[in-house]
Amino acid sequence: MRVTLEQQLAGAVDADLTAVFGAIALAAREIERKIRLAGLSDTYGAVGATNVQGEQQQKLDVFANDVMMDELGKLNCVAALVSEEDEEPVICDHPGSKYIVIFDPLDGSSNIDVNVNVGTIFSIQEFAGGDLSAAILQPGTKQVAAGYVVYGPSCVMVMTTGDGVSGFTLDDTGEFVRSSEKMMMPQQGPYYSTNEANASTWPDAYRGYLKMLLAGELNGKTYSSRYIGSLVADFHRTLLKGGVFLYPPTAKVPNGKLRLLYEANPMAMVAEQAGGAAVNGPTRIMELQPEKIHQRTPLIVGSKAEVEALQEAVAQE
């Protein structure tokens, strides 16, 4: 049975949340097309500027951000938009609006020039009125929906509204059609994914944890390394195959590198809804109270066996 994204959402969530997903899907279609034709349209490479993170902006970063802002900004139900690329939230002047959308418009964009998978990550929160700035800084447990789009050999949206995880593949008619439902992450997997070049600057607990995985000391399973360097791509493999993705604190970034609101929180919600887990080391990611919109965090996300073993290692340090 052919089920589109809109058909799955109909009756399951309110019309406004369905409209938010529709706008994200429209933006994703435009972004996918631009990425697919990037080599023919002079959209590879940097624009010569940096974003609020101090990272060099790619041409496609700017394009993806503009498209997301344009499509979501049209909706009367959206109170605010928070993007990795913008220093401050964009407040939408829509009376009675009820949703806040927080997103990384193009995760992994530095890999685009070498044709590596990249993605869009999004988190959706409710706005019940009052102080909008305070409403943006909610813990991940307050998310009503989250997901990501991975632009690869096929364009796939993985999403949750708090009732399991579904995957939708962009077909040749321009619709996202359900290709997976009730997705579940294996309880233990064969892979770990991390930038081992930083391992010498990790805390001792993380170095010991990696040695444990390599020695086959976690339930007798020996692990292989798989690391792409694009969070969406690495997480998508972990969701499907199991294992763990980790970006620990390092000497250079002791508070972690990944952003809590629009990278860690949405990935954590998807992981938990699929039977996995996500922590910053000792603490569940979705229980962290954000203090600023671009706050960074360590992130360990994946199958329960691996994440729980890491928590135990950190607790014993």
Determine the pLDDT at residue 240: 98
Co-location of 175 and 195 in the same domain: no
Closest CA to 12 of 144, 124, 140: 144
Q: Using H for helix, E for strand and C for coil, what is the string for 183-200? A: CCCCCCCCEEECCHHHHH
Task: Name the β-bridge partners of 96.
Answer: none
Distance (Å, rounded) from C-alpha 184 to C-alpha 234? 16
H or E segment to which residue 97 belongs: none
What is the average pLDDT value for the chain, to the nearest integer? 93
Task: Name the β-bridge partners of 18.
Answer: none
Co-location of 258 and 128 in the same domain: no
∠ CA 121-126-128 to the nearest 5 degrees? 155
Contact 47, 58 (CB under 8 A): yes
Look-up: residue for tokens 């998807």?
A: 270
Distance (Å, rounded) from C-alpha 29 to C-alpha 24? 9
Co-location of 113 and 157 in the same domain: yes
Which amino acid makes up residue 230?
S
**CATH number for the domain including 241?**
3.40.190.80
Determine the pLDDT at residue 163: 96
Co-location of 203 and 141 in the same domain: no
Q: Which two tokens stand for residue 89?
A: 């939230």
Distance (Å, rounded) from C-alpha 58 to C-alpha 112? 9
Co-location of 72 and 168 in the same domain: yes
Determine the pLDDT at residue 264: 98
Co-location of 251 and 167 in the same domain: no
Determine the pLDDT at residue 109: 82
**CATH number for the domain including 83?**
3.30.540.10
- Residue 153 CA: distances (Å) to CA of 36, 75, 116, 233, 251: 10, 31, 10, 11, 36
Range of the domain at 219: 191-315
Q: Does residue 244 sit in helix, strand or coil? A: strand
Determine the pLDDT at residue 221: 92
pLDDT tens, per residue, the chain with 317 residues: 899 999 999 989 999 999 999 999 999 999 999 998 876 555 555 554 455 555 556 789 999 999 999 999 999 999 999 999 999 999 997 888 999 999 999 998 878 778 889 999 999 999 988 899 999 999 999 999 999 999 999 999 999 999 999 999 999 999 999 999 999 999 999 999 999 999 999 999 999 999 999 999 999 999 999 999 999 999 999 999 999 999 999 999 999 999 999 999 999 999 999 999 999 999 999 999 999 999 999 999 999 999 999 999 999 87
Q: Which two tokens stand for residue 88?
A: 């401050």
Pairing of strands 244-247, 299-302: antiparallel
Domain count, the chain: 2
H helices present in 173-303, as ranges? 204-214, 231-241, 265-273
Distance (Å, rounded) from C-alpha 15 to C-alpha 17? 6
Task: Please report whether residue 186 resides in a domain.
Answer: no
Task: Please report whether residue 149 resides in a domain.
Answer: yes
Distance (Å, rounded) from C-alpha 83 to C-alpha 252? 24
| pTM assigned to the model | 0.94
Task: Please report whether residue 185 resides in a domain.
Answer: no
Which of 180, 201, 222 lies at the terminal end of a domain, its last residue?
Answer: 180
Co-location of 16 and 95 in the same domain: yes
How confident is the model over 70-106, as pLDDT tens digits? 999 999 999 999 999 999 999 997 888 999 999 999 9
How confident is the model over 160-208, as pLDDT tens digits? 999 999 999 999 999 999 999 999 999 999 999 999 999 999 999 999 9
Task: Please report whether residue 101 resides in a domain.
Answer: yes
Determine the pLDDT at residue 94: 85
